[in-house]
Structure 1
Amino acid sequence: MDYQTLAVSIADRVATVTLNRPDVRNAFNEITIAELSLAFDELGRSDDIRAIVLDANGPAFCAGADLNWMKKMAGYSHAENSEDAAKLAEMLRAIYLCPKPVVAKIQGDCYAGGMGLVAACDIAVTVNSASFCLSEVKLGLIPATISPYVIRAMGENAARRYFLTAEKFSAQEAQRIGFVHDVVPADALDAHVAAIVNALVTSSPNAVREAKVLVREVTGKPVDAAMVVDTAERIANVRASDEGREGVASFLEKRKPSWLV
């Protein structure tokens, strides 16, 4: 479909979803939110897609919420604000729960809601010149809808500081606290992301999907009897799956698995 605020392309089983409002530093509004929800829902259900890259055009990755959208929200009733926030929350959830692995390719500054977009992805790579900021409290707001994802990414201790101070911090600090995985020079970003994507698309699609679910559903839970049973059942199910059997057989027979043919 045609998008107003995104550019979506597909090549070699990889979809690239590009934030495409460079004139406003890719700040998002209600249209962007709706289009991101739709794009990730459709791409997540496509058998032809193995991985998704979340990219952006222009010097900034995402400046958070669009100012004109925020002005309009200032006149909303409580009910209207609740409805609007719910759409943003569902958009973030669509990225987080997408069955395909999602890589954030951060080519510039990433603020406020933009950090929520990154945190909802599975893997994040940034240029070394990017700045990060959770700026909400400077506007009398809080990073509520993005908080489940941002806190998971950077941890509670770092969130206590940056949620409260709204300080800008560097790409190196973002990596130190675990918010991003890799920091690279700008001229190495394309190749670095391509290498990660290649690792994703050459693995078993079913195993990648189940591994993503595994991390989400095991994290933070006690290692008790229920956990032991659950994880044993998960590996048993994957071993018995078509791709599980094919992967082991291809390894023993020293040939490529069917998903690479």
Structure 2
Amino acid sequence: MTGLVHTAHDRGITTLTLDSPGNRNALSATLVTGLADALTRCATDRDTRAVVLTHTGNTFCAGADLRDPPDPEALVGLLRQIVELPKPVVARVRGHVRAGGLGLLGACDLAAASTDATFAFTEVRIGVAPAVISLPLLPRTDPRALARYYLTGERFDAAEAVRTGLLTAADDDVDAVLAPVLDGLRRASPQGLAETKRLLTATVLETFDRDAAGLTALSARLFSSPQAREGMTAFLERRDPAWVV
């Protein structure tokens, strides 16, 4: 357990809970480090058959913490760690997901949400782009849907997230829809899970190998730009940025 990531274990399933409700579980440097450390422990824990990633509060993850942002390379490392973990990672969402939080969902092998959850790629509205999080998202989700939501920053619901491939399932009772999934994972052999996951993530990891350096550089350049400074300042001051017409 760290201050921002809590760990619990039940019958082969290790649950990692993001617990930073004060900033809506935003991806601060501290949270990224804490989650990466917890995943490292899960990777070598023989009692962990699969990992559930969930949260406290009404937001799964609000994206990058603008006051304490993680290094782009650290975020790339965390997303790749989820993809490469030799155990399935299942996202359990009972709230809203924004920007970089959608990268966490994209990196997970399976993802379920309550039907009242909402989603948005808000990067364009603060002057940046969903660069690093595209590494797991582009190979796994509908490209036409991503084009719309990347370019507009529109909010969309859980049903649309299922249709686009961002979610595996959505239900009023997210635990009910996850119950048979977790039961199936408990019945699977560790070797079978690891090798099957390797098959499923091969294309995603090819994208990391090919594009991670370029997208990391793009993210760093955009976040240091004048438009990003204006966008982030406007967000923190709860006003429209200067370019809104």
Q: Superposed, which structure 2 residues align to 1:85-100 within 5 Å?
A: 85-100=72-87
Q: Is the 8 A contact 1:45 1:99 kept in 2?
A: no
Determine the structure 2 residue equivalent to 1:191.
176
Counterpart amino acid of 2:98?
Y
Match of 1:232?
none
Q: Structure 2 CA distance, aligned partners of 1:167 and 1:5?
A: 29
TM-score by length of 1: 0.75
**Which letter maps to 1:177?**
T
Structure 1 unpaired stretches of 5+ = 74-83, 222-261
Task: Identify the residue that residue 97 of structure 2 maps to in structure 1.
Answer: 110
Aligned counterparts of 1:4 and 1:51: Cα–Cα separation in 2: 22
Counterpart for residue 193 of structure 2: 208
2:83/2:201 contact within 8 Å kept? no
SS of aligned partner of 2:184: helix
Letter in 1 for 2:122: S
The structural deviation recorded for 1:219 is 7.7
Number of residues of Structure 1 aligned to a counterpart in Structure 2: 206
Question: Which stretch of structure 1 is more off in the superposition, 210-219 or 47-56?
Answer: 210-219
How many Å apart are 1:220 and its aligned residue?
11
Q: In structure 1, how many angstroms separate the alpha carbons of the residues matched to 2:111 and 2:43?
A: 18
SS in 2 for 1:183: strand
Instruction: Give the number of the structure whose alpha-carbon radius of gyration is greater.
Output: 1
> What corresponds to 2:243 in structure 1?
none
Amino acid at match of 1:6: V
Q: Give the structure 2 partner of residue 217 of structure 1.
A: 202
Distance 1:51 1:68, change over 3 A: same
CA distance in 2, matches of 1:220, 1:110: 23
Gaps of 5+ in 2: 207-245
CA deviations over 1:138-175 (Å, ceiling 9, x no partner):
01011111101122232322222211111111111111
Structure 1 position 120 matched with structure 2 position 107: yes
Residue 172 of structure 1: SS of its match in structure 2? helix
Partner of 1:146: 133
Instruction: Calculate percent identity across the aligned residue pairs.
Output: 35
SS in 1 for 2:67: helix
Report the alpha carbon displacement of residue 98 of structure 1 after superposing the two structures with TM.
0.7
**Distance across 2 between alignment mates of 1:220 and 1:123:** 16
Which structure has more relative contact order (CA 8 Å, sep 6+)? It is: 2
Decide which of 157, 161, 166 is 2:148's aligned counterpart. Answer: 161
The 5 A counterparts of 1:1-261 are 2-70=1-69, 84-185=71-172, 188-217=173-202
**CA distance in structure 1 between the partners assigned to 2:30 and 2:23 by the alignment:** 14
| CA gap 1:147/1:45 in 2 versus in 1, 3 angstroms | same
Aligned-residue CA RMSD in angstroms?
A: 1.8
Structure 1 runs of 4+ off > 4 angstroms? 218-221
Q: Which deviates further from its counterpart, 4-13 or 121-130?
A: 4-13
Contact 1:27/1:65 (CA < 8 Å) preserved in 2?
A: yes
CA distance, structure 1, for counterparts of residue 204 and residue 119 of structure 2: 25
Give the match's secondary structure for 2:26: coil
